[in-house]
């Protein structure tokens, strides 16, 4: 039985960041560019099999890496969302390929995104989400990720987290990234709630918390032992070191 709507309480929804908030990256077994390269090699194989005039594989990977760094740096000046499809299209172009000859949807499937080895939910992620559900909270997710949501869904499915989420969005799909207010408004619209009804939980002060504060949500900084971010003047409403500490805060806010 689905829990009743929280019609009387002020807070009706909890919205989470994904990476290092619902899932723990402290044990990641591959790092940085290597995470994307193992998928990009599969794209290379896919394009080569189609008879596309490919550059050397290393050159192709290097080009992707450069486009990626450039695009993210550029995006940080406006908080526009960067999408994997855009990065791919630009990489193909710069590699001398005709983008119009390539089916981007098939190419993104060939990328074959998978959970990153060693990444897993925190020990209390399931229990916390379960408790929120049982208490009738809606649960949302906003991730600053270039992947379309369907790719990150593959991970959420493996981690057993997908079914808890009432709404979920990536910055790549939305066209804005945290802290831009538009991405918060988008998830609020999907959950059909106002900013005052939502708590936002994330690990990055400058993205998650600054954005949540500016958008009028109650902010909770998750500050687990393996992360050390400077607050740089950002003030979370609450700070916790593990997700289960969220429950007493919600009880207090209700």
The reply to whether 20 sits near Mg ion by the rule CB under 5 A is: yes
Q: How far is the CB of 225 from Mg ion (least distance, A)?
A: 15
The reply to whether 19 sits near Mg ion by the rule CB under 5 A is: yes
The reply to whether 24 sits near Mg ion by the rule CB under 5 A is: no
Q: How far is the CB of 8 from Mg ion (least distance, A)?
A: 32
Q: How far is the CB of 226 from Mg ion (least distance, A)?
A: 12
C-alpha–C-alpha distance, residues 11 and 34, integer Å: 40
Residue 94: other Cβ atoms inside 10 A? 14
Is the distance from CB of 29 to CB of 156 less than 8 angstroms? no
Q: First and final CA of the chain: distance in angstroms?
A: 22
Q: How far is the CB of 125 from Mg ion (least distance, A)?
A: 13
- Map the footprint of Mg ion across residues 206-225, applying CB under 5 A: none
The reply to whether 17 sits near Mg ion by the rule CB under 5 A is: yes
Instruction: Count CA atoms within 13 Å of residue 146 on its CB side.
Output: 16
Report how many residues bind Mg ion under the rule CB under 5 A: 4
The reply to whether 173 sits near Mg ion by the rule CB under 5 A is: no
Which secondary-structure segment (H or E) carries 250? helix 246-253
C-alpha–C-alpha distance, residues 93 and 208, integer Å: 33
The reply to whether 203 sits near Mg ion by the rule CB under 5 A is: yes
**Contacts with Mg ion, residue ranges (CB under 5 A):** 17, 19-20, 203
């Amino acid at each position: 039985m689905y829990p009743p709507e929280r019609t009387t309480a002020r807070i009706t929804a909890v919205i989470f960041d994904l990476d290092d908030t619902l899932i723990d990256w402290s044990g990641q077994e591959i790092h940085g560019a290597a995470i994307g390269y193992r998928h990009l090699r599969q794209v290379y194989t896919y394009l080569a099999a189609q008879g596309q005039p490919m550059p050397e594989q290393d050159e192709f990977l290097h080009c992707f890496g450069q486009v990626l760094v450039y695009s993210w740096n550029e995006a940080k000046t406006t908080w526009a969302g960067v999408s994997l499809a855009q990065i791919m299209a630009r990489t193909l172009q710069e590699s001398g390929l005709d983008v119009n000859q390539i089916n981007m949807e098939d190419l993104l499937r060939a990328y074959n995104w998978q959970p990153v080895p060693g990444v897993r939910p925190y020990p209390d992620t399931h229990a916390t989400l379960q408790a929120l559900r049982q208490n009738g909270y809606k649960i949302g997710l906003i991730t600053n990720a270039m992947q379309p949501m369907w790719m990150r869904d593959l991970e959420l499915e493996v981690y057993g987290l997908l079914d808890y989420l009432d709404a979920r969005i990536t910055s790549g799909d939305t066209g804005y990234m945290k802290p831009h207010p538009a991405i918060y408004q988008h998830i609020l619209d999907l959950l059909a709630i106002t900013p005052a009804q939502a708590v936002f939980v994330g690990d990055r002060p400058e993205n998650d918390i600054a954005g949540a504060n500016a958008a009028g949500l109650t902010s909770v900084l998750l500050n687990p032992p393996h992360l050390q971010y400077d607050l740089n003047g950002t003030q979370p409403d609450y700070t916790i070191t593990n997700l289960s500490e969220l429950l007493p805060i919600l009880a207090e806010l209700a």
